[in-house]
Structure 1
Amino acid sequence: MDMGFLATATFWKYASMPFISAIIGYITNVVAIKMMFHPIEFVGLWKPYLGWQGIVPRKAAKMSAIATDTITQNLIDSEEIFARLDPEEVAEHLKVPLNEMTEDLVDQVMRTHHPEVWSRTPQAARETIVARIQSTIPQAIADTVRDLRKDVNQVFDLKNMVVTNLVHHKELMNRIFLETGDKEFRFIARSGAYFGFPLGLLQMFVWMFYQPFWLLPAVGLMVGWFTNWAALKMIFNPKDKHRVGPFELHGLFFKRQRDVASAYGDLVANEVLSPINILQQVLRGPYSDRIFTIIAHRVGEAIDESAGPIRSFMSWTVGDVNYIRLKQTAVERLIAQTPDAQDRPSPAMQSFVDYADRELAIEQTLVERMRQLPPREFEGMLRPAFEEDEWILITVGAALGLAVGVFQFVVLFGGG
């Protein structure tokens, strides 16, 4: 070969083809991954036709339902969660935060409903009422936990809790997939270059002898399509190990089952099935009216017991009907003052959170059981992000590859 040819523009145009093909493969795969998760909300002119929303956020309800089925059917259920909580221990760890709010609670309720009566009540009598309530509330909480454990599914909807958290916080759904499948997504991106380079070499040799206008766009399309398709296949196939000579074939996702289980367990336990989230679901979920009835009954008993001889005075002063309404308001305020799931628990509530974390051991349970899942159930942790709409990812890759192929033909080779 004439060495002078190596310095010509024509040579470098040809030499660039495998590298451009590798870049096409990499970029199309990266863009396809980005389009799976972003934007979180629809961006465009006419939903759903002119614009785009990430596949995972768009299908958040369906994907969270699938994830929930995997959790509740294969990993942990409501009965097991509540069976791990000891009623007396729960009461002990909630005693301090409840005591802290009891004095203010009683004062607020009385000032709201019966300000004149409360203003005439001696300070010693007020302190006696508060002290008696504080002494009986722990037993009321323990009795409430026992009532919950008898038929937990009547007051706690685990599936609704998980689905609601993930649908309302689509970025959390994205994190579950992205952090669980971090290495798989990086492989998809890199594989575009791995597969694109040899295809580019083939393209270069063919172009030397045969230069139809459609070749470069067609090869670009093929690179964009094939790299995404092949990467997806290599992640999820084969599900079981197969040895071919010195090589062991095993889907990348299944090969990393232990690591994936750790990432998933950590994220779900701390962001979805946290003690505060569970408490919020019990108190404010779809069955909150039932839990309200249970708490009202138990706390009402505690208030009656704590009032003792003062109860007759209270009933006579404010009336029996108002006394009952006063107890109901106390329960409502008690529930309303529980911490929100998004807030950091107070130092007093942190004791309960630490206890619940330790006893529930949700992260440890999820990790251990996920590692033991058979391949088909384990596949359900990440596969839903691809399966139904993976044709979109492949099509996007093909379309971007086609566009770059047209660019090559027009810019590098002058459109023929």
Structure 2
Amino acid sequence: MIDLAFLGTATFWKYASMPFISAIIGYITNRVAIWMMFHPIEFFGIWKPFLGWQGIVPRKAAKMSAIATDTITENLIDSEEIFSRLDPEEVAEKLKVPLNEMTEDLVAEVMKSHHPEIWERTPTAARETIVARVQAAVPQAIADTVRDLRVDVNQVFDLKDMVVTNLVHHKELMNRIFLETGKEEFKFIGRSGAYFGFPLGMIQMLVWIFFQPWWLLPVFGMFVGWFTNWAALKMIFNPKEKHRIGPFTFHGLFFKRQEDVARAYGDLVANEVLAPANILQQVLKGPYSDRIFTIIAHHVGEAIDDSAGPIRSFVSWTVGDVNYIRLKQTAVDRLIAYTPDAQGSASPAMQEFIRYTNETMAIEETLVDRMRQLSPRKFEGMLRPAFEEDEWILIAVGAALGFAVGVFQFIVLFGGGG
């Protein structure tokens, strides 16, 4: 028979609060663990790496980006494939306007560098004629360059370098990839702290009724903090394949969402990492940029020589030549000025070219389609590295926070006594 008078006592409510406090412990420790995975982006503290903290993902940015790069380049995107989708004549047509806007200045720069006396004595009408002829010849040179790229794009474009550079230098982007890809999983981790914490708190309450050593609440708190983190991770990634036991189906939460994850990942990577504007800048400024300019110099040089009449071979610079380096940088700066910046601004003509490359390369569609087909083991690699790196720290932090809350609970609810 329940003593109704006891239900109104402070002791009853102290006992009754235990499951709820345990649920709160589980929720808070799990949320803190998630935050610590990604924040702060830069080290915060007084003695690196011992007295302070940096988010696990930003701290391991180089390794994380290498893993992401391997996944993208080995399983999802082939640079030769996506470049082969570009039509050389269409590219030349789309670039005609922005290139014409640059041609006059670039031709003048080349002529002043290699034949300054001749260029100064050249009448204005003759200069305009040369520029007009070059402008007429450049589209074909660009088309020829694109054909060369389609034959062996890897000679001028390093996809791995581009992905690694973007992710290492933009750690917040690395965070976004994991956070948006695993959005539902991270929500589950937070909620699961309460789901697991409440029944554990019920057990704690029943034990406390009959057995009240001072260390019981801190130890239970530590166990809740540890177990809720550990169990949530297990449920996200296990089992990898569907398993049916009677009427119940068991499947890792991340694998159940492969379709949704593919769409989220494809959208983010295609628009933030493998955007055509980024690819163009990689070609122009990446480790193989000299090769692309050698190709362009060959084709455009022929066009200019044919247009310049008696002024021959004034673009016959070499890669190590000071003028070549300076002219290359000038060309790069002018081209980059026409590509969208972080706010997406660019000349209308270049925006039209970006739209064309987006549609033709179809990077987002390719990523989504290939991700849908990944095996469970490879698909796991999209998110699992964020947890695997120093996973024990996250679980230990959960346990430590749970222990601290247990001590607080013991002192506040029971005055440090039984």
Greater shift, 387-396 or 199-208, is seen at 387-396
Shift of residue 157 of structure 1?
0.8
Shift of residue 150 of structure 1?
2.1
Shift of residue 55 of structure 1?
0.4
Q: Does the C-alpha gap of structure 1 residues 325 and 196 become closer, same or farther in structure 2, counting only changes over 3 Å? A: closer
Q: Does the C-alpha gap of structure 1 residues 355 and 285 become closer, same or farther in structure 2, counting only changes over 3 Å? A: same
Alignment of 1:337-416 (within 5 A): 337-339=334-336, 342-343=341-342, 344=344, 345-416=346-417
Q: Does the C-alpha gap of structure 1 residues 214 and 326 become closer, same or farther in structure 2, counting only changes over 3 Å? A: closer
Partner deviation per Cα, 1:293-342 (whole Å, 9 max, x = no partner): 212212211211221x2526x97xxx9989x9878755542222122664
Q: Which amino acid aligns with 2:82?
A: I
Q: Does the C-alpha gap of structure 1 residues 63 and 328 become closer, same or farther in structure 2, counting only changes over 3 Å? A: closer
Q: TM-score, normalised by structure 1?
A: 0.93
Percent of paired sites with the same residue: 76
Residue 70 of structure 1 contacts residue 381 of structure 1 at CA under 8 Å; is this kept in 2? yes
Alignment of 1:152-191 (within 5 A): 152-191=153-192
CA–CA distance in structure 1, aligned partners of residues 102 and 317 of structure 2 = 25
Structure 1: runs of 5 or more not aligned: none
SS in 1 for 2:389: coil
SS in 2 for 1:70: helix
Partner deviation per Cα, 1:172-212 (whole Å, 9 max, x = no partner): 00000000000000000000000000000110111111100
Residue 162 of structure 1 contacts residue 272 of structure 1 at CA under 8 Å; is this kept in 2? yes
CA–CA distance in structure 2, aligned partners of residues 70 and 302 of structure 1 = 42
CA–CA distance in structure 1, aligned partners of residues 317 and 191 of structure 2 = 72
SS in 2 for 1:373: coil
- Does residue 334 in structure 1 map to residue 331 in structure 2? yes
Match of 1:246? 247
Q: Which amino acid aligns with 1:88?
A: E
Match of 1:70? 71
CA–CA distance in structure 1, aligned partners of residues 160 and 358 of structure 2 = 20
Backbone CA RMSD of aligned residues: 2.2
Match of 2:292? 291
Shift of residue 375 of structure 1?
0.3
Q: Which amino acid aligns with 2:245?
A: V
Match of 2:311? 311
CA–CA distance in structure 2, aligned partners of residues 251 and 321 of structure 1 = 60
Shift of residue 238 of structure 1?
0.2
Match of 1:275? 276
SS in 1 for 2:388: coil
Shift of residue 7 of structure 1?
2.2
Q: Which amino acid aligns with 2:331?
A: L
Match of 2:140? 139
Residue 223 of structure 2 contacts residue 399 of structure 2 at CA under 8 Å; is this kept in 1? yes
CA–CA distance in structure 2, aligned partners of residues 399 and 331 of structure 1 = 57
Q: Does the C-alpha gap of structure 1 residues 379 and 413 become closer, same or farther in structure 2, counting only changes over 3 Å? A: same
Residue 24 of structure 1 contacts residue 401 of structure 1 at CA under 8 Å; is this kept in 2? yes
SS in 1 for 2:311: helix
Match of 2:208? 207
Q: Which amino acid aligns with 1:333?
A: T
Residue 296 of structure 1 contacts residue 331 of structure 1 at CA under 8 Å; is this kept in 2? no
Q: Does the C-alpha gap of structure 1 residues 28 and 301 become closer, same or farther in structure 2, counting only changes over 3 Å? A: same
Partner deviation per Cα, 1:91-127 (whole Å, 9 max, x = no partner): 1111110011112333455567766654543221121
Match of 1:97? 98
Q: Which amino acid aligns with 1:192?
A: G
CA–CA distance in structure 2, aligned partners of residues 327 and 408 of structure 1 = 72
Shift of residue 133 of structure 1?
0.8
Q: Does the C-alpha gap of structure 1 residues 259 and 358 become closer, same or farther in structure 2, counting only changes over 3 Å? A: same
Match of 2:14? 13
Q: Does the C-alpha gap of structure 1 residues 320 and 94 become closer, same or farther in structure 2, counting only changes over 3 Å? A: closer
Structure 2: runs of 5 or more not aligned: none
